[in-house]
């Protein structure tokens, strides 16, 4: 659509997720993609408690259920564990590689392998809670899996949980207000110039 062959990105979104995805259009931007990939990100996520899935999100198969309804105080205590520097184990259903093999390809075959925990930095805030849905805001370093946070919160609460909604509200210095709707990219009159000139 842009007439430019080299197009990159600064972090993809899961299929059901919405929000900010920074596109790097043209060689001047793709050649510095590493800089954008290092940016921290911010999300608003909704977790459904009481159910756990194999993918840790709503696209997966239901694996566990629980009748336990955690109190707001329980949730507040658990969310405190998702602050600052922590270690996060990547989910099996992810593009991360172990010994050269993508984890999701192994997971689809029913194979689970050991995954080394990865250090991440995050700030987690509770925005709303009405069982079974818990909405949180997460500001995090690159490589953070919000699906894993949803799953881990559920496990720590003793009731399971999985991600049912995810919106990326910021990627580095780019906020939702900086974005254009993907549908407008097909409009003949759309001009890329203002976005190509976005300051590095």
C-alpha–C-alpha distance, residues 43 and 150, integer Å:
12
Cα-based distances in Å from 52 to 28, 65, 169:
43, 6, 25
Q: Do 90 and 82 touch, CB atoms closer than 8 A?
A: no
Catalytic residue among 14, 54, 57, 152: 14
Q: Which of 127, 166, 151, 147 is nearest to 49 (CA)?
A: 151
Q: Which of 192, 139, 169 is nearest to 20 (CA)?
A: 169
Name the DSSP class of 82.
Answer: S
Q: Which residues does 70 contact at the CB level (< 8 Å), separation at least 6? A: 49, 78, 131, 157, 158, 159
Encoded tokens for 162: 């999985």
| Kind and range of the H or E run holding 103 | helix 103-108
For the question of residue 57 being annotated catalytic, the response is: no
Active site residues per annotation:
14
């Amino acid at each position: 659509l842009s007439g430019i062959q080299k197009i990159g990105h600064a972090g993809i979104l899961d299929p059901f997720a919405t929000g900010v995805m920074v596109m790097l259009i043209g060689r001047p931007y793709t050649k510095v993609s590493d800089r954008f990939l290092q940016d921290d990100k911010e999300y608003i996520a909704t977790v459904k408690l009481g159910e756990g899935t194999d993918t840790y999100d709503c696209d997966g198969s239901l694996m566990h259920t629980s009748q336990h309804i955690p109190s707001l105080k329980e949730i507040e205590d658990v969310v405190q564990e998702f602050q600052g520097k922590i270690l996060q184990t990547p989910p099996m259903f992810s593009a991360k590689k172990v010994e050269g093999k993508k984890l999701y390809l192994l997971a689809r075959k029913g194979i689970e392998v050991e995954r080394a925990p990865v250090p991440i930095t995050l700030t987690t805030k509770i925005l709303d809670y009405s069982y079974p849905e818990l909405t949180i805001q997460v500001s995090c370093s690159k490589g953070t899996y919000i699906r894993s946070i949803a799953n881990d919160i559920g496990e720590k609460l003793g009731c399971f949980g999985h991600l049912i909604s995810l919106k990326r509200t910021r990627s580095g210095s780019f906020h939702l207000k900086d974005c254009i709707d993907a549908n407008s990219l097909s409009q003949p009159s759309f001009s890329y110039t203002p976005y190509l000139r976005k300051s590095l």
